[in-house]
Amino acid sequence: MPLVIMCGYPSSGKTTRCEELANFFREEMKKNVEIVSDQNIGLNKNDVYSDTRKEKDARGTLKAAAQRKLTRDNVVILDSLNYIKGFRYELFCMSKSANTTQCVIHCDTNKDESKKWNEQRSEEDRYRETLFDELTMRFEPPNPQQRWDSPLFLVQVGDRLPVQQIEQALFQRKAPPPNMSTQSQPLSSTNFLYELDRITQETVTTILNQQKTMVPGDKIVVPGVQDKLDYVRPFTLMELQRYKRQFITYTKMHPVDDVSKISNLFVQYLQSSIK
């Protein structure tokens, strides 16, 4: 059943909207609703979001919990910051692999209002001020032009939650069919992991070499790849290697049937992940 992804600044009203939507589906639509949130997985947000490694592990835990609950009978609402577009892309791939619909609800509360609401929380429930400021600076707003952020519902303070439109987007729309980049399948050959590592490393090397003569706004072209990578700033080897490892981890679980597709999928992944 469908996946609903909440996103927004810290203390922007996501949980309130989440509960409002859950009540609508339970009471009006008679649906079973499962909420996956920072709180119900036991996440200490001040501890986790101030540590990159802990935050990465927490995202993995949230994703795994949501994936377990994506069944025929459940509406799953992921109530967390979900402020990284690369993570929302992973969630899109997850729902696509499960052959179900999804939507994104952006609680578009401005920073000042969110900060005021944060300060009104109990001490154990509020974000530390410095962490709050860091998280709002790191927030990557959803873009309805990107397939993983669509359909997108923008909800501001004082707006009524468009529950009917959300219901239509989730239940009156066909799920995108799983493709070879999202559909789980066994490894296609014993050389798959070798080819995966080799091709992604060649792509990383190509990007590093081409950017030496580029200026922001240029397009990086990887030989044999249809998609182009926007050159918005210099990319470091460490950064590209990190994205390479993330892509390999995902692709090992979701192999493709043709290794010639790997380069294009990797470039698409980089385009969605790099600021």
- Burial class of residue 131, CB neighbours in 10 A (0-12, 13-18, 19+): middle
pLDDT of residue 182: 44
CA 14 to chain centre: 16
CA distances from 211 to 208, 220, 240, 247, 268 (A): 6, 7, 13, 21, 18
In contact, 26 and 33? CB cutoff 8 Å: yes
d(CA 191, CA 193): 6
Q: Given the DSSP bridges, would you call strands 229-230 and 219-220 parallel, antiparallel or unpaired?
A: antiparallel
CA distances from 133 to 31, 136, 181 (A): 37, 5, 36
CATH match of 3-171 with 3.40.50.300: yes
Q: What is the pTM (predicted TM-score) of this model?
A: 0.67
Helix and strand element counts for the chain (H, E): 10, 7
Q: What's the one-letter identity of residue 124? A: E
In contact, 188 and 226? CB cutoff 8 Å: no
d(CA 199, CA 263): 6
Conformational region of residue 33, where left means phi above 0, alpha means psi within -120 to 50, and beta covers everything else: beta
pLDDT digits (tens), the chain, 275 positions: 799 999 999 999 999 999 999 999 999 999 999 999 999 988 999 999 999 989 999 999 999 899 989 887 789 999 999 999 999 999 998 898 888 999 999 999 999 999 999 999 998 899 999 999 999 999 999 999 898 999 999 999 999 999 999 999 999 888 876 654 444 444 445 577 888 889 999 999 999 999 999 998 899 999 888 888 998 889 899 999 989 988 888 887 777 777 888 999 999 889 888 75
Q: Where are the domains of the chain?
A: 3-171, 192-273
- Burial class of residue 237, CB neighbours in 10 A (0-12, 13-18, 19+): exposed
Six-digit token pair at 45?
Answer: 């947000």
